[in-house]
Amino acid sequence: MDKTVSEKTDLRSLQLSELENLLTRAGYPKFRAGQLYQWLQQKGVTDLSQMSNLPKAMTADLQENYRISGVRMVDRQISKLDGTQKFLFAMDDDALVEAVFMKYHFGNSVCISSQVGCRMGCRFCASTLDGLQRNLLAGEMLGEVSEVGKITGEKISHVVVMGTGEPLDNYENLVAFLRILTDEKGRNLSMRNITVSTCGIVPRIYALAKERLSITLALSLHATTDEKRRKIMPIANEYTIAELMQAVEAYFTETGRRVTFEYSLIAGVNDSPQEADALGVLAKRVGAHVNLIPVNPVKERGFAHPDRRAVEAFQVRLEKHGINVSIRRVLGRDIDGACGQLRHRVLRGNQG
Ligand code: SAH
């Protein structure tokens, strides 16, 4: 079933300056790059034959020597409860990824995947069950955003990189994606409306801080001691919480953006009052906002979320530390809500 895709350069993954270099080297005037970029990034048109202001000889040449990564919808679930939509997309090699469209009072948001599968191994997460297949290209991540916008007919104002994959494990492609997404000649999204969520790859947090992208960083903390964190997140064997806190402080110093802590509440694992206090101390120290996510049960994982009262008690206790806390609104409960569940079910032949 595996389709091989050519090694040709993906035009959709290139920033405008790169496209200009590539086309001028191939003998075309520079303005042609601007036209091509506008088709690809602003109009979401990936079929060269539809790019009506480009000369035929040029599109034929591009067709032969380059590629434009495609993203096609293979499944879509629409929640009857809140309008959340979940998409399953196939890439040109048939690799599958999920994206989710959500409506909020502040605008429409797309949650995209950054990798096909994931190798981080978090114990509560469905996305990592089948391991990492490959990284997504910048053009493929842009394609997720673009297709969701086209299919729903809605304007996309917010993007969160919180779907399948560890974005900082696909660093170069992620940064190219963010630059095109926020480029005024590209998709022109506001940096402030973009969130990248990481399990905490410390050196990459420092690198991202230096990119001069003032996006929000969300750190998946999920535990307040290294010992506990190691039990649920293998990445905690590489970096300590103390190192993480230093990295997010550096991120704030460079970008002026405070991080968000994500904390998935798992009954009997990380939901004690003592842990609420310890989380409060950590969040206070770095000025973090905390996002509590009652863990989404994944059949293969056997974790359960605390009941609503316990979640609220945890929130109240945390707020006593002067922390800004939100409980992640559970959207799309009637569709395969948790990260990676739809893809996982399809890969396993719809048994789930
Ligand atoms: N790899 C990145 C982004 C993808 S996961 C990261 O680790 O942050 C997005 C968020 O969902 C993370 O906070 C992740 O820990 C959390 N998550 C994954 N599976 C979950 C589940 N079953 N229930 C609740 N949260 C989950």
Find the mean pLDDT for residues 197-213: 97
C-alpha to C-alpha distances, 7 to 11, 157, 223, nearest whole angstrom: 12, 33, 42
Asked whether the predicted pLDDT for residue 259 surpasses 80, the reply is yes
How far, in Å, from the CA of 313 to the mean position of ligand 1?
Answer: 22
Task: Say if ligand 1 is within 6 A of residue 122 CB.
Answer: yes
Phi, psi of 108 (to 5 degrees): -105, 135
How far, in Å, from the CA of 152 to the mean position of ligand 1?
Answer: 25
To test the pocket of ligand 1, the residue of 119, 262, 291 to mutate (highest count of ligand atoms within 8 Å of its CB) is 262
Q: DSSP 3-state assignment of 200?
A: coil
Q: State the amino acid at position 56 in one-letter form.
A: K
69-78, 87-96, 293-302, 307-316, range with the lowest pLDDT: 293-302
DSSP 95-113: -EEEEEEEEETTEEEEE--
How far, in Å, from the CA of 292 to the mean position of ligand 1?
Answer: 11
Asked whether the predicted pLDDT for residue 4 surpasses 80, the reply is no
Asked whether the predicted pLDDT for residue 337 surpasses 70, the reply is no
Count of helices and strands (H, E) across the chain: 11, 12
To test the pocket of ligand 1, the residue of 270, 293, 331 to mutate (highest count of ligand atoms within 8 Å of its CB) is 293
Ligand 1 atom closest to 303 (CA): 22
Residue 132: which residues within 8 A CB-CB, separation 6 or more? 115, 116, 117, 118, 119, 165, 169
Q: DSSP 3-state assignment of 246?
A: helix
Task: Say if ligand 1 is within 6 A of residue 69 CB.
Answer: no
End-to-end CA distance of the chain: 22
Average pLDDT over the chain reads 93
Distance CA 84, CA 335 (A): 9
Tokens of 35: 């036209």
Residue 258: which residues within 8 A CB-CB, separation 6 or more? 252, 286, 287, 288, 289
Distance CA 12, CA 217 (A): 25
Residue 31: which residues within 8 A CB-CB, separation 6 or more? none
Nearest to 101 by CA among 111, 91, 114: 111
Residues 210-251 have pLDDT tens digits of 998 999 999 999 999 999 999 999 999 999 999 999 999 999
How far, in Å, from the CA of 298 to the mean position of ligand 1?
Answer: 12
Distance CA 271, CA 266 (A): 6
Residues 139-192 have pLDDT tens digits of 999 999 999 999 999 999 999 999 999 999 999 999 999 999 999 999 999 999
Find the mean pLDDT for residues 40-49: 96
Q: DSSP 3-state assignment of 120?
A: coil
Task: Say if ligand 1 is within 6 A of residue 262 CB.
Answer: yes
Residues 57-111 have pLDDT tens digits of 999 999 999 999 999 999 999 988 888 999 999 999 999 999 999 998 999 999 9
Percentage of the residues of the chain whose pLDDT score is greater than 70: 92
Query: Residue 220's beta-bridge partner residues?
Result: 262
Q: Which pLDDT score, from 0 to 100, does residue 301 have?
A: 77
Q: Which pLDDT score, from 0 to 100, does residue 307 have?
A: 93
Nearest residue CA, atom 13 of ligand 1? Answer: 220
Tokens of 234: 């293998």
Distance CA 146, CA 158 (A): 12
Ligand 1 atom closest to 197 (CA): 8
Longest dimension (CA), the chain: 68
Residue 95: which residues within 8 A CB-CB, separation 6 or more? 116, 133, 134
